[in-house]
Amino acid sequence: MTVEKYTDARGQVAVLYSPGYGAGWSSGLHMEEKEFALFDAGLVQFVLDGTDVRVVEAYIEDKLGDAYFYMGGWPLEIEWLAPGTQFTIHEYDGNETVQLIRDLSCTA
């Protein structure tokens, strides 16, 4: 599956994450589903528009079939990153944060 990323007028790429405790969004998913959950342009548009979760569920089912998504993390937040920026999603008790790889590096 090729995932179309959402890029804004400044050229920044949207990354979706769930900052609420109790439910993660992309953490724990297999890579193909994770890329969809993080970047899919349709999902980003739903976040920007404040779309009802039932519409989002139908969209995900149409795109991925029977893949399971826990929708308790909806609505999501968007982190805007420059193309090519390396990052990871850190999750604790369902609370996801976007961490840049450069911020995780230590040098002795």
| The model scores a pTM over 0.75 | yes
**Three-state DSSP state, 53:** helix
pLDDT in tens, 8-51: 999 999 999 999 887 789 987 888 899 999 999 999 999 999 99
pLDDT in tens, 53-99: 999 999 999 998 876 778 888 889 999 999 999 999 999 998 999 99
- How far, in Å, CA of 25 to CA of 19, rounded? 9
Residue pair 5/14 in contact (Cβ under 8 Å)? The answer is: yes
**H helix or E strand, kind and range, residue 16:** strand 13-17
